[in-house]
Amino acid sequence: MKSHSTWGVSKNPVKFRMPTAENLVPIRLDIEIDGQRFRDAFTWNPSDPDSEVVVFAKRTVRDLKLPPAFVTQIAQSIQSQLGDFRSYEGQDMYTGEKIIPIKVDLRVNHTLIKDQFLWDLNNFESDPEEFARTFCKDLGIDDPEVGPAIAFAIREQLYEIAIQNVSSARESRISKKGRRGFEHSLPSKAGGTGLDLMKLYGFRSSVIRKRKEWDVYEPIVDKLSKEEVGILEAKEERNA
Amino acid sequence: MENSQDPNFKELYTIPSHSSWFSWDDIHQVEQNSLKEFFDASSITRTPKIYKEYRDFIICKYREDPSRRLTFSEVRKSLVGDLSLIHKVFLFLESWNLINFNAPKRDDDDDYVGGEDRWNVRVEEGAPYGVKVVANPNSLKPVLPPPVAVNGTGNGVLASPLASFKDRYAELAKVKKLVCGNCKGSCDSGCYEYIKDRSFVICLECFKSENFGENKAAGDFEFNNCSRSNGNMGSAWSEAETLLLLESVLKYGDDWEVVAQHVQTKSKLDCISKLIQLPFGELMFGAGNGKPRLWDASDSISSIKQVKLDSSEVSDASNDLKNENEQNGNVEDVTPPQKRIRTGRVPDASNSLMKQVSRLSMMVGPHITSSASEAAVAALCYENLCPREIFEVNDDGSHKLGSSENEIQRASPVKDSDMEERHATDIPDASSMNIIPAALRMRAATATALGAAAAHAKLLADQEDRVIEYQVAKIIEMQAKKLQRKMRCIEDLELIMKKEDVQMKELVESLLSKRMNVLKMIFSAGISRWGDRATVTAHAPSVP
């Protein structure tokens, strides 16, 4: 066995991190002060010094000409989300052999994107940003905001599952105390959302999808008119 | 995947020569090195089998329409598996041009550094000329691009399938200038050629001052008058001159001295080469001269191939030919360069060959013929790198010889005997370099014919296959029908049996009822039963 594989080995736990090539944390901001609302989503490198957070908040407020009250709010929000992430760091993450379906259902400005694909949690070479770039290029999306939004959506889902895996690792550790011996099957059972790999990759099945399933996994991109965007936004407002 | 492996389904696709390792049935080391994760048995989701499925699918998908650019988003919806992994396979195949080779470039391609540069690099790699037929990967070696390729015809369109050697290398031959190996000056007036390596040349001054270079002695050099060779070689022929030439050839046969005198404006060499260049030049040779010298028709081709360097045999073969090695005066003890008589092919051999080719190409489809000839020319280009070198060198060295005895052919010491034999018919004629295109054309034609024949054979075989398949299918169908009929018969029989069974039962019943009736009638008639009657009769005598 190679010791330095970029692939997570299912039997050995990995220290918690984003299951991607770059360990970037998805951060989502949604702050409302005095009727003014600021929403944003981006990724943050958790190894950056925390002083950067305040600098970033200040610059954002200045660039967007927001009231100064936003600075602390933004900084706090980022800090707390980073804190969440760091609380998992150092813990073992049992991913098992897990390939999860990722669903993207987004609206960025005038573009509506629906997509579904599989993602291997053990592939620490994966790169959502690279994928998003290819996606936009292949489908001819010009809006520069779409790519980052797709990458962010993927990261958010990966992050969520990574957290689940830590807690499932915790559970398995507890249950391990009760028994003797270690059961490899435990972490993969605990995962829940993973696909049945034997079914997908068994000797009998082919990795070529059945034709009728192609539509399900096909990316769908819609260009919306201004009126449609307006209607959608109003709907979202109401739901919120 | 099934389709691609079906032999009836094979089509020809071009892939760059640097991807020649690719094979449908195998996974190459290159693939194993680039995509290690599939081959380290770390997961059931990454096995060589799965890799092969990914690869085959993506390539097949691309080949459904090679003219459009296949995108990752198009592929991934049909493949089960980790997105990043599939993307990696996709990029790998794209980087080796196994997909999107003929596809138009994407203009917004910022991933690849410098789109235009990359394109140029591809031309230098010789990809267009190195294209090969996938169906038969081992038949061709990667081909080095001929120099014409560099100046930008670019996109892999061969000038013409049967472009002759002359057409391709004419510029090169003209451009070639001799440069002194010592003083780096150009040797316009004349030079000394190093006989062991013909590319090494020194100028007159260096030779006189005994400046030979390392490990070389005066004896290794041989004089070479380049001024003549580069003289009026390229000068164009006017129509009047050509007419004059033809006239004098008809008159004097191949007595070139006289012909040249008659033409006046051209040298003997020019006359010969022009005549050969003419479309019917070879015919003129065959018909026009009563005393064939250069084209010794009596020599069969096989004997040509076996001509040895044995000088006695050489002189024997043709008396007109003089094996005369004119040496420069002060280098007497030079080992003479190996020489041999070369007899060209009988001219009409090529004609029949051409006929063969055309006949063969009639039989198969035009695209097959064209690809066959393309492959043939590509192979020839590769092969003829060696002859070309010889040609270039001899070009200079031989004119001196040509001036006195142009019939003498010189084969340079070719490296191995195999090569020698293969190129026996190709080794350039010292004096008339235009035989090269003729021979080449002939070889190209031969190769084309063979290729076309092979393609035709393949087609026939395929057809045969199909016929057999069809027959087998038919047989099976017939058998099935037979079985069906039998089944029907059996069913019918069963029905009949059932009917009969029912009838039998009815009969039995009716018999029973009849019997009952009879019995009833007997009872009602008061007749006792047989047994009773028997006792009655038995008792009867006792009753008085």
Sheet strand arrangement including B201-203: B201-203, B191-194, B221-224
Integer angstrom CA distances of residue B486 from B480, B483, B489: 10, 5, 5
- Whether residue B71 lies within 8 A of chain A, CB to CB, comes out as yes
* Per-residue pLDDT at B297: 40
Which chain B residues contact residue A198 at CB under 8 A? 44
| Higher local confidence (pLDDT), B229 or B274 | B274
| Lookup: tokens for B69 | 């650019």
Low-confidence winner among A125-134, B63-72, B470-479 (lowest mean pLDDT): B63-72
In a domain, A203, yes or no: yes
Same-domain check for residues A43 and A138: no
In a domain, A63, yes or no: yes
pTM given for the model: 0.43
Distance CA B369, CA B352 (A): 17
- ipTM surpassing 0.85, yes or no? no
* Per-residue pLDDT at B24: 83
Same-domain check for residues A141 and A124: yes
What is the rounded average pLDDT of the residues B146-157?
Answer: 41
In a domain, A237, yes or no: no
Same-domain check for residues A121 and A162: yes
Q: What is the per-residue pLDDT across A171-218, written as a single tens digit (0 to 9) for each?
A: 665 555 554 444 444 444 434 456 667 667 766 667 788 888 788 888
* Per-residue pLDDT at A129: 92
| Lookup: tokens for A28 | 């989502």
Q: Is A223 left (phi over 0), alpha (psi -120 to 50) or beta?
A: beta
Domains of chain B: 17-96 (1.10.10.10), 176-224 (3.30.60), 239-280 (1.10.10.60)
Number of H helices, E strands in chain A: 7, 7
Same-domain check for residues A124 and A216: yes
CB A111 within 8 A of CB A224: yes
Q: What is the per-residue pLDDT across B482-536, written as a single tens digit (0 to 9) for each?
A: 999 999 999 999 999 999 999 999 999 999 999 999 999 988 887 665 555 544 4
Same-domain check for residues A57 and A120: no
- Whether residue B3 lies within 8 A of chain A, CB to CB, comes out as no
In a domain, A112, yes or no: yes
CB B192 within 8 A of CB B201: yes
pLDDT confidence band for B475 (50 / 70 / 90) = very high
Distance CA B59, CA B350 (A): 42
What domain count does chain A have?
Answer: 2
Q: What is the per-residue pLDDT across B354-365, written as a single tens digit (0 to 9) for each?
A: 666 666 666 666
Structure letter (DSSP) for residue A199: H
Q: B413-430 burial by CB neighbour count: b if 16+ within 10 A, else e?
A: ebeeeeebebbbbbbbbb
Same-domain check for residues A78 and A97: no
- Whether residue B57 lies within 8 A of chain A, CB to CB, comes out as yes
CB contact under 8 A, A209 and B79: yes
Same-domain check for residues A78 and A103: no
In the stretch 90-109 of chain B, residues with CB closer than 8 A to chain A read: 106, 108
- Spell out the per-residue pLDDT of chain A, length 240, in tens: 444 445 655 456 678 888 888 889 999 999 988 888 888 999 999 888 888 899 999 999 999 888 888 999 999 999 999 998 888 887 877 766 778 889 999 888 888 999 999 888 888 888 999 999 999 988 888 888 899 999 999 999 999 888 888 866 666 655 555 544 444 444 444 344 566 676 677 666 677 888 887 888 888 888 888 888 888 888 888 886
Residue type at position B316 = D
Q: Mention every residue, 6+ apart, whose C-beta is less than 8 A from residue A6.
A: A123, A124, A125
What is the rounded average pLDDT of the residues B10-20?
Answer: 72
How many Cα neighbours within 13 Å face the side chain of B79?
29
Of residues B94, B109, B100, the one with CA closest to residue A137: B109
For the beta carbon of residue B23, count every other beta carbon within 10 angstroms: 11
List the single residue in A135, A201, A217 with the smallest CB-CB distance to B50.
A201
* Per-residue pLDDT at B284: 54
SS3 at position B361:
helix
SS3 at position A31:
strand
* Per-residue pLDDT at A154: 92
Same-domain check for residues A80 and A97: no
In a domain, A211, yes or no: yes
CB contact under 8 A, A138 and B74: yes
Strands annotated E in chain A = 14-15, 25-33, 36-44, 92-93, 99-108, 111-120, 220-223
| Higher local confidence (pLDDT), B65 or A83 | A83
Of residues A153, A151, A186, A193, the one with CA closest to residue A171: A186
Same-domain check for residues A74 and A175: no
Range of the domain at A82: 25-86
| Higher local confidence (pLDDT), B131 or B532 | B532
Which chain B residues contact residue A129 at CB under 8 A? none
Which chain B residues contact residue A219 at CB under 8 A? 73, 77
Distance CA B71, CA B99 (A): 10
Q: What is the per-residue pLDDT across B230-277, written as a single tens digit (0 to 9) for each?
A: 444 446 777 888 888 888 887 787 778 888 888 877 788 888 887 777
Per-residue pLDDT at B130 exceeds 50: no
Same-domain check for residues A168 and A119: yes
Per-residue pLDDT at B135 exceeds 60: no
Which chain A residues contact residue B57 at CB under 8 A? 208
Of residues A42, A131, A153, the one with CA closest to residue B111: A131
* Per-residue pLDDT at A217: 84
Distance CA B384, CA B381 (A): 5
SS3 at position A165:
helix
* Per-residue pLDDT at B359: 65
CB contact under 8 A, A208 and B82: no
In a domain, A5, yes or no: no
In a domain, A35, yes or no: yes
Integer angstrom CA distances of residue B466 from B5, B459, B463, B477: 15, 10, 5, 16
| Mean pLDDT computed over every residue of chain B | 64
Per-residue pLDDT at B171 exceeds 90: no
- Whether residue B85 lies within 8 A of chain A, CB to CB, comes out as yes
Percentage of residues in chain B having pLDDT higher than 70 = 42
* Per-residue pLDDT at B267: 80
Of residues B95, B112, B75, B449, the one with CA closest to residue A208: B75
List the single residue in B50, B54, B73 with the smallest CB-CB distance to A139.
B73
Tokens 């540069």, located at residue? B117
Same-domain check for residues A106 and A82: no
Q: What is the per-residue pLDDT across B311-351, written as a single tens digit (0 to 9) for each?
A: 444 444 444 434 444 444 444 444 444 444 444 444 444 55
In a domain, A173, yes or no: yes
CB contact under 8 A, B57 and A197: no
The β-bridge partners of A40 are A29
Which chain A residues contact residue B115 at CB under 8 A? none
Residue B50 distance to chain A (closest CA, Å): 7
* Per-residue pLDDT at B498: 96
Low-confidence winner among B25-34, B171-180, B374-383 (lowest mean pLDDT): B171-180
| Lookup: tokens for B153 | 């015809």
Same-domain check for residues A103 and A64: no
From A64, A86, A108, the end of a domain falls on: A86
Distance CA A240, CA B32 (A): 52
Q: Mention every residue, 6+ apart, whose C-beta is less than 8 A from residue B172.
A: B147, B392
What is the rounded average pLDDT of the residues B124-140?
Answer: 41
The three-point CA angle B428-B429-B434 to 5° equals: 80
* Per-residue pLDDT at B489: 95
Residue B318 burial by CB count (10 A; 0-12/13-18/19+): exposed, middle or buried?
middle
CB contact under 8 A, B80 and A125: no
Q: Mention every residue, 6+ apart, whose C-beta is less than 8 A from residue A209.
A: A217, B77, B78, B79, B80
